[in-house]
Structure 1
Amino acid sequence: MTITPDAPTLNTLILDLPVDVRFNPAGIPLAVRYDGHIWAVAAEPVHWFSRDSWWDTRRTAPRGIGNVVDVEHWRLQVRLAASTSALRTFQLRRGPLSEQWLLESISDIGTVST
């Protein structure tokens, strides 16, 4: 792919910062509070799970504690609430046995200046 002045470029910021996420009753994210702002979900979110590499961290859990290996992820298209700001992509992650969501990365689409 060739980047031209008309083609977008993807800029990504890697963070891993704690954020608050608001969900609807069905468990779908509605908004994210990050850096003192509310970012509203503006498109269909993407949801998946990955596996924690427990063999690297050497974490153990008591028997019967539940799922200790699934890492939950959401990829959200968001914009500042009550605005028509440009869309950004937030990638969220929550580790096994954690209640805290982490903002793993932010991507936005900009244009290449000439």
Structure 2
Amino acid sequence: MSTITEAPALTHDLQVRTDAAGKPLAIRHGGQIWLVDPDTDSQHWFGRDAWWNTRRTAAVGSGDLVSIEYWQVQVRLGSDSALRTFTLRRNPLSAQWLLESISD
């Protein structure tokens, strides 16, 4: 099986439903609802924003301005459809999720 990665250029037309701990359960993208497969392991990590390139400044006490949250989840449209891998990204202090990549 070959892996094909699509780079959707950080798609903004995305809604993510999460559980109480913040783990994605379902993703609405492209007019379809993709369900996170509960039998697969989701990966969760944090990266760092290149704040030195953006030259952003913030007042003391503004919160964490450099931690980018990532989730890599296995999703499917229905019980019969093939699994796809979505990599989600959320920028510091943002409530909006972005779709960083999709792969088969």
Q: Return the TM-score normalized by structure 2.
A: 0.92
In structure 2, the residue matched to 1:99 is 95
Q: Per-residue deviation at 1:98?
A: 1.1
In structure 2, the residue matched to 1:38 is 33
Query: Per-residue CA shift, 1:55-101, capped at 9, x if unaligned?
Result: 01111111101100100000000001x43100000000011111110
Aligned pairs (5 A) from 1:65-76: 65-76=62-73
- The residue identity in structure 2 corresponding to 1:32 is I
Structure 2 residue runs without a partner (length 5+): none
Bigger radius of gyration: 1
Query: Per-residue CA shift, 1:24-56, capped at 9, x if unaligned?
Result: 112211000000000000122110000000001
Matched residue SS, 1:75: strand
4+ residue segments displaced more than 3 Å:
none
Asked whether 1:20 is paired with 2:15, we answer yes
**Which has a greater percent of strand?**
1
Asked whether 1:9 is paired with 2:2, we answer yes
In structure 2, the residue matched to 1:86 is 82
Q: Return the TM-score normalized by structure 1.
A: 0.84
Query: Per-residue CA shift, 1:4-25, capped at 9, x if unaligned?
Result: xxxx111011011021100111
CA distance in structure 2 between the aligned counterparts of 1:34 and 1:83, rounded to whole angstroms: 18
CA distance in structure 2 between the aligned counterparts of 1:75 and 1:101, rounded to whole angstroms: 12
**Matched positions, count:** 100
Structure 1 residue runs without a partner (length 5+): 1-7, 109-114
Query: For the aligned residues, what is the CA RMSD?
Result: 0.9
